């Protein structure tokens, strides 16, 4: 009889434990554990549940990274050796190792074209603009602090018949997007699929050789290549391209007026508060603004239960990076619940990042020397992505331990 009563009591407790309302953000998690990864970085593992407790799809597995600027850990945006193509997180971690940096934690970043790996928004690394894109973005300054907003980015061409003509930088050329500028950050060639008219350029002596936010450089035409879908990009040089069947016939005519030896100026303008950003990547819809969850979203999967990745900033400057899994054991969430969650985590502003099969969390647990996958990716394994947001620190020599960490970091009892 005692055994029957005990079983009934356990079942009752379990049902109560998993009962809840429809929105995960509106209730407390049934489990929540905080694991320190560094003095200023914590990993929070959370599980929410609701509805019928026997259905695993009523469970939501989540991870949140909290980062406070000012310690020995700093944020970086990193992609592979070129923008064209995709890289896995483990490959990027190897790159960090070669730079004498250790990964503390990382998540996937920009939305991107699956066929080319080219991100839809801007990318800035080491203070250099790698690709353009004027969308809601997250930027990091040298001191580790963050900004989330539209960078109001414009890449402008002046020379010949052009005067502050807007162009794109390191994106795939089409017949409708006008003039594009390419560097070796893109790849060794433009790799376009439409026939293009190309001006091969090199920086003139004394000019900047890289594009920075609010910077400019002067380039000289060294070669003209016609009817080439893919044009080689010289080391240290650039290629200016326009489709030969472009929708802008007059723009093509102006391009064809250039001769070898002619010069052009390419300049970058952005919002004043973005000028000193050292690392940045584009995102999607703003989720939270002025500490309030938003509701007007443009993403086509906004109503679907998907894996999600988001980044937010608290009023005190703390950065919150959040992921929700969509797998056999986790329901995923729609964009409205994601916005509510970022608000409930205390964010003053928050941005949606690429999700679905791209959502991943990599961490190096304290006391370990390798990166591990903390979440359960939708695809069953980490997807190769366009870029990643990493929290990193300088490698240090082995020394006596100053902290003790016990694993497993948490346990459950019923």
Q: Terminal CA-to-CA distance of the chain, rounded, Å? A: 20
CB atoms within 10 A of CB 62: 22
The residues that bridge with 240 in the sheet, in sequence order, are 181, 199
Strand 179-182 relative to strand 128-131, pairing: unpaired
- Residue whose C-alpha is closest to residue 138's, from 12, 247, 286: 286
Q: Is the dihedral of CA 283, 233, 79, 302 positive or negative?
A: positive
Determine how many CB atoms are found less than 10 A away from the CB of residue 164: 11
Residue 14 has pLDDT above 50, yes or no: no
Residues 345-368: what's their mean pLDDT? Answer: 93
Sheet architecture: strand order including 128-131: 128-131, 123-125, 279-282, 137-140, 146-149
Between these two residues, 97 and 228, which has the higher pLDDT value?
228
Confidence of residue 10 (pLDDT cuts 50, 70, 90): very low
What are the DSSP calls for 326-359, one per residue?
A: EETTEE-B-HHHHHHHHHHTT-SEEEEE--GGG-
Q: What is the pLDDT of residue 99?
A: 87
Tokens of 340: 């509510």
Q: Mean pLDDT, the chain, as a whole number? A: 89
Task: Residue 348: name the closest of 290, 309, 293 by CA.
Answer: 290
Q: Does the pLDDT at position 93 exceed 90?
A: no
pLDDT at position 111: 97
Rg of the chain (C-alpha set): 24
pLDDT band for position 2 (50/70/90)?
very low
Instruction: Give residue 381's pLDDT.
Output: 84
pLDDT surpassing 50 at residue 358:
yes
Task: Using the predicted structure, report yes or no on whether residue 371 has a pLDDT greater than 90.
Answer: no
pLDDT tops 60 at residue 16:
no
pLDDT, position 365: 86
Task: Output b/e per residue, 118-128; b: 16+ Cβ within 10 A.
Answer: bbbbbbbbebb
Check residue 380 and give its pLDDT. Answer: 85
pLDDT at 23: 58
Residue 11: pLDDT band (50, 70, 90) is very low
Residues near 408 by Cβ (< 8 Å), separated by ≥ 6? none
Write b or e for each residue in 287-326: b if 16 or more Cβ atoms lie within 10 A of its Cβ, otherwise e: bbbeeebbeebeeeebeebbbbbbbbbbeeebbbbbbbbb
pLDDT of residue 29: 83
Q: How far apart are CA 96 and CA 115, in angstroms?
A: 26
Q: Which of 91-95, 240-244, 288-292, 305-309 has the lowest mean pLDDT?
A: 91-95
Read off the pLDDT of residues 58-85 as tens digits, 9 standing for 90 and up: 899 999 999 999 999 999 999 999 999 9
- pLDDT tens digits for 200-245? 999 999 999 999 999 999 999 999 999 999 999 999 999 999 999 9
What pLDDT, on the 0 to 100 scale, is given for residue 412?
Answer: 59
**CA-CA distance, 146 to 211, in Å (whole number)?**
21
- At 395, the pLDDT band (50, 70, 90 cuts) reads confident
Can you give the pLDDT at residue 362?
A: 94
Span 367-385, mean pLDDT?
A: 86
CA distance 220 to 206: 12
State the pTM of this model.
Answer: 0.90
What angle (nearest 5°) sits at the alpha carbon of residue 280, between those of residues 274 and 283? 105
The DSSP secondary-structure symbol of 144 reads S
């Amino acid at each position: 009889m005692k055994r029957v009563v005990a079983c009934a009591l356990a079942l009752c407790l379990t049902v109560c434990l998993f009962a809840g309302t429809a929105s995960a953000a509106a209730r407390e998690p049934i489990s929540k554990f905080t694991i320190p990864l560094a003095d200023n970085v914590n990993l929070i593992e959370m599980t929410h549940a609701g509805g019928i407790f026997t259905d695993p799809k009523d469970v939501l597995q989540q991870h949140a990274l909290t980062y406070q600027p000012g310690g020995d850990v700093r944020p970086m945006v990193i992609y592979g050796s070129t923008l064209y193509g995709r890289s896995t997180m483990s490959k990027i971690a190897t790159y960090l190792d070669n730079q004498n940096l250790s990964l503390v934690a990382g998540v996937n970043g920009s939305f991107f074209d699956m066929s080319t790996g080219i991100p839809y928004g801007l990318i800035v690394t080491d203070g250099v603009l790698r690709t353009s894109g004027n969308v809601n973005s997250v930027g990091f300054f040298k001191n580790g602090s963050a900004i989330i907003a539209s960078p109001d980015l414009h890449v402008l061409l002046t020379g010949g018949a052009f005067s502050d003509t807007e162009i794109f930088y390191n994106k795939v050329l089409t017949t409708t997007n006008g003039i594009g500028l390419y560097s070796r950050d893109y790849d060794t060639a433009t790799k376009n699929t439409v026939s293009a008219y190309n001006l091969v350029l090199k920086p003139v002596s004394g000019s900047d050789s890289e594009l920075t936010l609010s910077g400019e450089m002067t380039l000289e035409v060294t070669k003209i290549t016609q009817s080439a879908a893919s044009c080689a990009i010289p080391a240290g040089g650039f290629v200016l391209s326009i489709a030969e069947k472009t929708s802008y016939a007059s723009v093509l005519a102006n391009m064809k007026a250039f001769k070898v030896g002619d010069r052009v100026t390419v300049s970058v303008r952005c919002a004043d508060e973005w000028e000193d950003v050292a690392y940045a990547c584009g995102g999607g819809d703003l989720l939270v603004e002025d500490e309030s969850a938003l509701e007007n979203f443009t993403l086509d999967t906004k109503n679907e239960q998907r894996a999600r990745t988001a980044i937010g900033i608290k009023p005190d400057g703390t950065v919150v990076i959040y992921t929700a899994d969509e797998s056999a054991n986790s329901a995923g969430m729609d964009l409205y619940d994601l916005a509510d969650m970022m608000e409930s985590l205390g964010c003053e502003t928050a941005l949606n990042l690429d999700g679905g099969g791209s959502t991943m969390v990599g961490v190096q647990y304290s006391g370990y020397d390798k990166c591990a996958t903390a979440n359960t990716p939708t695809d069953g394994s980490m997807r190769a992505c366009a870029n990643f947001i990493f929290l990193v620190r300088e490698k240090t020599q082995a020394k006596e331990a100053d902290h003790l960490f016990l694993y497993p970091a948490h346990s459950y009892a019923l």
